[in-house]
Structure 1
C-alpha cells in the first residue's frame, strides 16, 4: 500500500452533499478510502473505536467537516476533538455552506487546516475537491 494513502472521514448529515462529495471524488479519480459519519458523535465513536472499528488506526487520516449538523455540530465536534489527547492532532478541513465570520474564526481558533465554502455549482465543487486532493497529497499529515 502506498505510504501516502490517506483515509478520509467525511462528517456531514446531508445525504445529497455526501453523494456530491462522492461524485466529485470520482470525477477527480480520487480513490482514497472514504468513510462517512452523519454527526460529530458518530465521528468521535468511529475515531475512538467505541462503537465501530477504529478508523484505520496508524494510517494517515484527514477529516472533512460540515458545521451544520444535528446532535453535535461541527464546532462542538472540533472542541471535543481538540480536547482528546489521542485525536487532537488530526487535520480537519471544514467543508460547509456557512459563510459566517463567527464560524470561520471559531474554526481557525480550533486549528482547522482549512475552511472551504461548498461551491454552488457541481463544476466548481469538483474543482475545489481536486485542489483539496492536491493539498492533502502534498501535505505531511500525522
Structure 2
C-alpha cells in the first residue's frame, strides 16, 4: 500500500526537510512534491501534474494563505470532488480549526509535527480506501 504522488505544504523549510527524509525512509510514497506557500501548491494542482496528486499533508498556520484558506480555495475551484486525501499537519491543535477543517470531505485527520512513519502509514491506508 503506497501513495503515488504526495504533496507537502509547509512554510517551514526545516520541517519540509524532516518530512521528506521520513517519507523517503518509509518508501510509502513514489513521489514527493513540496511547497512553502499554499498559493503555489494550488497553482500546481491546477496544472496537468496536479491531477496525479493522491495525498496532501497541509500545514494550517502559514503566511500568504493559511491551510484553512487553501481548503476553501480548493473547494471553490474543484468542489467537494477534489481527489487528494488531506491530513492537516500542525503544531497547533486549535479546536476551532479542527472543527472547521473536518467540514471538508478530503480531510481525514490531524497530525502533530513532526511527521512520523505511523502518520504516513495512516495516510497510505486512507489513500487506499482502508483508513
TM over 0.5: yes
Aligned residues: 127
Aligned match of 1:99: 93
Query: Could you list the runs of 5+ residues in structure 2 that have no partner in the other structure?
Result: none
Bigger share in helix: 2
- Per-residue deviation at 1:136? 4.0
Q: What is the CA–CA distance in structure 1 between the aligned matches of 2:4 and 2:44, rounded to whole Å?
A: 16
Q: What is the CA–CA distance in structure 1 between the aligned matches of 2:128 and 2:81, rounded to whole Å?
A: 21
Bigger share in strand: 2
Q: What is the CA–CA distance in structure 1 between the aligned matches of 2:23 and 2:109, rounded to whole Å?
A: 18
Task: Deviation per CA, 1:33-88: give whole Å up to 9, x if none.
Answer: 10011121101111112xxxx3253x352111001111001000000101123674
CA gap of 1:44–1:130, structure 2 versus 1, over 3 A, is closer
Query: Could you list the runs of 5+ residues in structure 1 that have no partner in the other structure?
Result: 120-124
Tell me the C-alpha RMSD between the 2 structures: 2.3
What TM-score does the superposition give when structure 1 sets the normalisation length? Answer: 0.76
Which moves more between the two structures, 20-29 or 98-107? Answer: 20-29
